[in-house]
Amino acid sequence: KRRFRTLRWAWRLGYLSALAGVAYIGYGVYQDRHPDPQVVPDPSKKTLVILGTGWGSVSLLKRLDTENYNVIVISPRNYFLFTPLLPSCTTGTIEHRSIMEPIRTILRAKKASVKFYEAEASSIDPDRKVVRIFDNSEVKGDMTETEVPYDMLVIGVGAENATFGIPGVREHSCFLKEIGDAQNIRKRIMDCVETAAFKDQSPEEIDRLMHMVVVGGGPTGVEFAGELQDFFEEDIKKLVPEISDRFRVTLIEALPNVLPSFSKQLIEYTESTFKEEKINIHTKTMVKKVTDKTVEAEATRPDGSKEKIVFPYGLLVWATGNAVRPVIKDLMDRIPAQKNSRRGLAVNEYLVVQGTRDIWAVGDCAVAGYAPTAQVASQEGNFLARLLNNMAKTEALESKVRELSSTLNLEPGNSAEISRQIEEYERQLRRIKDVKPFHYSHQGSLAYIGSEKAVADVTWFNGNVAAAGGLTYLFWRSAYLSMCFSTRNRLLVINDWIKSKAFGRDLSRE
């Protein structure tokens, strides 16, 4: 009887927590749909220009007290993209809009209004303190190019795809950085499949079309190869059986192993899982040239001799890491202190661009001594929000102290009270002025490797834990779900996962 009573209480507790969860989500959704009216910023305040709507800039915006500045956001992309789930969009496991959050929604939730210009920054003049911007969208108005002056500037423009000047890469391969890239790949996979199934296609041509080549064995290449193999095993094979034995995925990596940033045991686990999944891995193989139908590479044999290998392909995905954007290169050329920096804007421990005043950089375009990851970019954005909020508070308090000090002689009868107020403001100033330099706290690395398996190098009580397999996959899913930008994104992603599991992925080409 006692056990029954305990069970009943447990059930009630579970029911109440579920109810509280639903109420919490409901309240969040209601708040998003009915935001409070926004304050119009005071024009006498400083103009803070933020470039980009990626991990660094949006993390900054989320925590920035926008009422302290006249904030202007400039980016060619009017949404935030949750990149960790981008590889899942290439096969339709997740629909692209589920991992996008409109910047207008993000900005509407701020206390004071923020201006947004959908434009690309083409150059930054640190002497005149202006950013030159242009409209690179399809629809153009009479005004397509102009300048935006700033008092303070935060650069979070990310990086572009590295090609190392290898001939044919830009013309013939697909990248995997933006939502358009994932859509392109999805279309191209199905185009290859349908073209291979075309009447009287020769066996050699079917082999070529069904050969999917991925260059770069970093996390992007590995996750994409895993997603692709899943798509084939779970859906294409069943629906287009006549070509199913010809489908192959090849991963080419210049270094001796894939996932160089993960621990040895996880590298071995990934490579053996890929072998089981029948993904061919060519390590110590450097791609030298790309044509419309082949990839030419040079492999280093165990005895050190070189061998030329030609891979015919239907789809080629190029994932060899980051390169510096032209607008950043141009700025670096204007600043003598950036002369020796190669991989982006060198910043100090407060993320100030070295050799400048009033310019900060976050994320992949900044060189602060950390890997170019979303984790680093978002922590940098959070840090900068704290710093800028503090700077604004400091200025406000300093001006109050100045004002009170000047009235001290004019109101001798009130001097005790004024001195007490000054002391109080100075005490507050001492407390908030003390912002420690940026310190990155690594939470670990996660990667999906296909067949419902993932690898994780996680920091746990100051130690490192390496985990791999099915349970790690569940951890991967829950971690990424919790990191999604909004409740809306979370619900859409869950819906996509259920949909693709229950009904299979959508094979339509558009």
Q: Three-state DSSP class for 456?
A: strand
**Pattern 354-393, binding to ligand FAD, x per CB under 6 A?**
---------xxx------xxxx-x----------------
Sites for ligand NAI among residues 77-136 (CB under 6 A): none
Please give the structure tokens belonging to residue 282: 């060519």
Residue nearest ligand NAI, Cβ-based = 218
Question: Considering CB distances under 5 to 8 angstroms, the limit depending on partner class, which of ligand FAD, ligand NAI, none binds residue 215?
Answer: ligand NAI
217 interacts with ligand FAD by CB under 6 A: no
| Residue 288 Cα distances to 89, 118, 175, 301, 366, angstroms | 29, 37, 17, 16, 29
Among 120, 253, 277, 496, binds ligand NAI (CB under 6 A): 253
Q: How many CB atoms lie within 10 A of CB 267?
A: 18
154 interacts with ligand FAD by CB under 6 A: no
| Residue 169 Cα distances to 291, 297, 383, angstroms | 8, 13, 37
120 interacts with ligand FAD by CB under 6 A: yes
295 interacts with ligand NAI by CB under 6 A: no
User: Using CA of residue 409, residue 411, residue 415, residue 417, what is the dihedral sign?
Assistant: negative
Among 28, 35, 180, 260, binds ligand NAI (CB under 6 A): 260
216 interacts with ligand FAD by CB under 6 A: no
Cβ proximity of 376 and 158 under 8 Å: no
Tokens 């490797």, located at residue: 449
For ligand FAD, the closer of residues 162 and 494 by Cβ is 162
In the complex, least distance from residue 322 CB atom to ligand NAI, rounded to whole angstroms: 6
489 interacts with ligand FAD by CB under 6 A: no
From its phi and psi, is residue 489 left (phi > 0), alpha (psi between -120 and 50) or beta? Answer: alpha
Please name the residues in contact with 493: beta carbons below 8 A apart, sequence gap of 6 or more.
85, 94, 98, 99, 481, 484
Q: Of 112, 133, 97, 98, nearest to 36 (Cα)?
A: 112
For ligand NAI, the closer of residues 92 and 219 by Cβ is 219
How many alpha carbons fall within 13 Å on the CB side of residue 420? 4
Q: Three-state DSSP class for 77?
A: coil
314 interacts with ligand NAI by CB under 6 A: no
In the complex, least distance from residue 249 CB atom to ligand NAI, rounded to whole angstroms: 15
In the complex, least distance from residue 132 CB atom to ligand FAD, rounded to whole angstroms: 10
68 interacts with ligand FAD by CB under 6 A: no
Strand partners, 316: 213
**CA dist., res. 198 & res. 192, Å (int):** 10
221 interacts with ligand NAI by CB under 6 A: yes
Please give the structure tokens belonging to residue 419: 């001195």
Sites for ligand FAD among residues 295-354 (CB under 6 A): 325, 327
**CA dist., res. 49 & res. 69, Å (int):** 10
Strand ranges across the sheet with 453-460? 444-450, 453-460, 463-469
In the complex, least distance from residue 358 CB atom to ligand NAI, rounded to whole angstroms: 28
Sites for ligand NAI among residues 129-188 (CB under 6 A): 164, 166
| Residue 479 Cα distances to 101, 106, 465, 483, angstroms | 18, 22, 16, 6
**Listed ranges 12-20, 70-78, 105-113, 435-443: which one lies at the site for ligand FAD (CB under 6 A):** 70-78
In the complex, least distance from residue 75 CB atom to ligand FAD, rounded to whole angstroms: 4
55 interacts with ligand FAD by CB under 6 A: yes
Among 41, 92, 158, 355, binds ligand FAD (CB under 6 A): 158
Given the rule CB under 6 A, which residues bind ligand NAI?
A: 164, 166, 215-221, 223, 252-255, 260-261, 286-287, 319-322, 371-373, 445-447
Given the rule CB under 6 A, which residues bind ligand FAD?
A: 51-57, 74-77, 83-84, 86-87, 120-121, 156-158, 176-177, 220, 325, 327, 363-365, 372-375, 377
